[in-house]
Chain A
Amino acid sequence: MESLIEKNGKGRIKISQPNSGQLKFRMLMIGTAIFTVAGFFLLDYSGLELWPAIIGTLENLKTMFLQPQLNQVNFGSAMYQVLVTLSLAFLSTILGAVISLFLAFGAAVNLSRPWISRVIKGFITVIRAVPTVLWVLIFAIAAGLGAVAAVIGMLFHSVAYLVKAYSEAFEEIDEGKIEALRATGSGYPHILFQVVVPQTKSFLIAWTFLRFEINFGVAVAMGAAAGAGGIGYELFMSSSFYYDMNEVGMITYMILIVAVILELVANKLKSAA
């Protein structure tokens, strides 16, 4: 028994013997902490006066959240702009969902050949590496700033996200069910739409809605940063052009309410799936 017990330098009994994975994890945590602290000093704060900035921001936040009011736009047109943003998000989600469904059949290892799966997954990794705003601006060069560039640009990340989610759902299908249909001599499309899709329907819907929720936030951003219109553009105008904190507050509330509702629905769908 004694031979099994290890002691440390001070002759005290050790209560654990971390393996290499645990040691690496510990090093990683320490490294991250050091990097974070160092990072604070490496960042470029030129022109920043911290206290006035904090106080100014707090005052702005107070105006925003305690005295929200629309000035440049009326309530009806602001609501319409929310609808525009929702529509952009909806279009890129639903078009993305259709494309993703077919790509996911190819990406799921149990429904496809390994090389097809690898090609699709590699393609998606590269697509996802480009920030959405850059996609939108790149498409704007070809199609002009506006809804087309926004929807197509947002489509790319939606597809990347949904193919991953869908194909993982497909990969969890019981192999026996596919086998059984194969044995009856059913064709490939038959298997996909009679077994694979119905079996995973609730997952597909939940993930698609989750992406819709994300896309709403993205669409707000694209309105502000890439000329896609909608409530994001109004937000950009009232903050960067009119410096109207009351209106920024009201618009933020509108966005927040829609986002929270979408999140609640997405959570419901997710827990039901």
Chain B
Amino acid sequence: MDKTNMQHANDVNVIRKKHMKLFFAGVIIIALVFGAGAVTNYNHIEGLMSIPAAFQWLFANMMFSGSTLANLSNVLRLLWETILISIVSTTTAAVFAGVFAIMGSKLTAINPVVMYAAKLAASVSRNIPVVAWALILVISFGTNAATGFLALFFATFGFLVRAFIETIDEASGDTVEALKATGATYPQVIAKAVIPEAMPQMFSWVLFMIETNIRSATLVGLLTGTGIGYLFDLYYKQLNYEMVSLITLAIVIAVLIIEWISNLIRREIL
């Protein structure tokens, strides 16, 4: 009887401690929210109010007039350019990322020094935000497709190296061991075990990055004066909100179509 009582008291204590911890975590988070609000001058009420206002505005401007629709071909041309940049920069980055990932994966690394160097290069490349790349590159490359391409290239490269390393580690650990045991050479192990096993998953990452990059390309375009982002910025500053809505709609449709195609491809290859 005594024992169960003790047990019970113990349980109550544990639960109480848990509640205390939860309570403190809650207090800290709320304090941080208010602290962050004060630092940034963020007003929660205003934030809440802006959501319905913005949607109302967005839909009110969806009734496109004839003069807006006349610009559609221009919008589509720049949208196509943006899509093109996203795809080309992603696939090019994927080729380089593949090589770096093979050097950076513990499973296939030639030696530890090269492995850490590859990982470091990838980490720097992905942790410098894409805006910083864009702002640095635009100075010398100018308002030009090459700027957008390179900015997206570096950010994508860094991300894909990390994703590819994970893929290689997951997909091909066992087979690498088996082929090494048959006396296969290093290039043979890469070509016969790593590539066939990891390729479909890697391609799926490339598709994911193309989707992401179409959105990033808009941002880069806005900063560097290229592509659909530039057009958005132009009309935004002219307060031509019908055009702003049209461009937004065009981007949404383009992204949805590309996501749909990617999903179809994924279903086939995975």
A and B touch in the complex (CB under 8 A): yes
Task: Tell me if B135 and A248 are in contact (CB < 8 A).
Answer: yes
Task: Tell me if A39 and B84 are in contact (CB < 8 A).
Answer: yes
A132-B219 contact given A44-B145, A239-B135, CB 8 Å threshold: yes
A-contact 0/1 string along B127-145, CB 8 Å cutoff: 1111110011111111111
A25-B128 contact given A43-B81, A64-B136, A129-B251, CB 8 Å threshold: no
Task: Tell me if B259 and A129 are in contact (CB < 8 A).
Answer: yes
Per DSSP, are chain B's interface residues mostly helix, strand or loop, or mixed? helix
Q: B269 near A: Cβ within 8 Å?
A: yes
Task: Tell me if B259 and A125 are in contact (CB < 8 A).
Answer: yes
Q: B39 near A: Cβ within 8 Å?
A: yes
Find residues 119-174 in chain A having any chain B CB closer than 8 Å to their own CB. 125-126, 128-134, 137-139, 141-143, 146-152
Closest chain A CB from B139 CB (angstroms): 6
Task: Tell me if B144 and A48 are in contact (CB < 8 A).
Answer: yes
Q: A111 near B: Cβ within 8 Å?
A: no
Q: B50 near A: Cβ within 8 Å?
A: yes
Task: Tell me if A142 and B255 are in contact (CB < 8 A).
Answer: no
A255-B132 contact given A21-B268, A87-B36, CB 8 Å threshold: yes
Q: A220 near B: Cβ within 8 Å?
A: yes
Q: Enumerate chain A residues within 8 angstroms of B269, measured Cβ to Cβ.
A: 21, 24-25, 28
Q: Enumerate chain B residues within 8 angstroms of A256, measured Cβ to Cβ.
A: 124, 127-128
A57-B137 contact given A43-B85, A91-B33, A139-B50, CB 8 Å threshold: yes
Interface size class of A (residues with CB under 8 A): 35 or more
A129-B87 contact given A44-B81, A142-B54, A148-B43, CB 8 Å threshold: no
Q: A90 near B: Cβ within 8 Å?
A: yes
Task: Tell me if B141 and A53 are in contact (CB < 8 A).
Answer: yes
A259-B129 contact given A25-B268, A130-B248, A138-B58, CB 8 Å threshold: yes
B-contact 0/1 string along A36-70, CB 8 Å cutoff: 10011011111110101111110011001000000
Query: Which stretch of A101-109, A183-191, A229-237 is in the interface?
Result: A229-237
Q: Which of A42, A64, A152 contacts B50 (CB 8 A)?
A: A152
A57-B236 contact given A21-B269, A91-B33, CB 8 Å threshold: no
Roughly how many angstroms separate A84 CA and B40 CA in the complex, as a whole number?
6
A142-B131 contact given A43-B85, A137-B236, A151-B40, CB 8 Å threshold: no
Q: B1 near A: Cβ within 8 Å?
A: no
Find residues 88-109 in chain B having any chain A CB closer than 8 Å to their own CB. 88, 91-92
Find residues 11-64 in chain B having any chain A CB closer than 8 Å to their own CB. 29, 32-33, 35-37, 39-43, 46-47, 49-51, 53-54, 57-58
Q: Enumerate chain A residues within 8 angstroms of B203, measured Cβ to Cβ.
A: 25, 28-29
Q: Enumerate chain A residues within 8 angstroms of B128, measured Cβ to Cβ.
A: 252, 255-256, 259
A46-B144 contact given A28-B203, A221-B130, A221-B219, CB 8 Å threshold: yes
Closest chain B CB from A229 CB (angstroms): 7
Roughly how many angstroms separate A236 CA and B222 CA in the complex, as a whole number?
12
Roughly how many angstroms separate A259 CA and B131 CA in the complex, as a whole number?
14
Roughly how many angstroms separate A60 CA and B132 CA in the complex, as a whole number?
13
Roughly how many angstroms separate A32 CA and B38 CA in the complex, as a whole number?
49
Q: B171 near A: Cβ within 8 Å?
A: no
Q: A194 near B: Cβ within 8 Å?
A: no
Task: Tell me if A90 and B251 are in contact (CB < 8 A).
Answer: no
Task: Tell me if A143 and B136 are in contact (CB < 8 A).
Answer: no
Task: Tell me if A239 and B136 are in contact (CB < 8 A).
Answer: yes
Find residues 211-260 in chain B having any chain A CB closer than 8 Å to their own CB. 215-216, 218-219, 222-223, 229, 232, 236, 241, 244, 248, 251-252, 255-256, 259
Q: B265 near A: Cβ within 8 Å?
A: yes
Task: Tell me if A235 and B132 are in contact (CB < 8 A).
Answer: yes
Task: Tell me if B200 and A25 are in contact (CB < 8 A).
Answer: yes
A221-B50 contact given A24-B268, A129-B255, A132-B219, CB 8 Å threshold: no
Q: B179 near A: Cβ within 8 Å?
A: no
Task: Tell me if B142 and A53 are in contact (CB < 8 A).
Answer: yes
Q: Enumerate chain B residues within 8 angstroms of A94, measured Cβ to Cβ.
A: 29, 32-33
Q: B123 near A: Cβ within 8 Å?
A: yes
Q: B163 near A: Cβ within 8 Å?
A: no
Task: Tell me if B131 and A220 are in contact (CB < 8 A).
Answer: yes
Task: Tell me if B149 and A43 are in contact (CB < 8 A).
Answer: yes
Q: A35 near B: Cβ within 8 Å?
A: yes
- A-B contact list, 10 entries, CB within 8 Å: A25-B203, A84-B40, A91-B33, A94-B29, A125-B256, A130-B252, A137-B244, A142-B57, A235-B132, A252-B136
Chain A residues in contact with chain B, CB under 8 A?
21, 24-25, 28-29, 32-33, 35-36, 39-40, 42-48, 50, 52-57, 60-61, 64, 83-84, 86-88, 90-91, 94-95, 125-126, 128-134, 137-139, 141-143, 146-152, 217, 220-221, 224-225, 229-230, 232, 235-236, 239-240, 243, 248, 252, 255-256, 259-260, 263
Q: A39-B87, A252-B128, A260-B127 are in contact. List 10 more A-B contacts (CB 8 A).
A: A32-B91, A35-B88, A39-B88, A43-B81, A48-B144, A130-B252, A133-B222, A137-B232, A225-B222, A235-B131
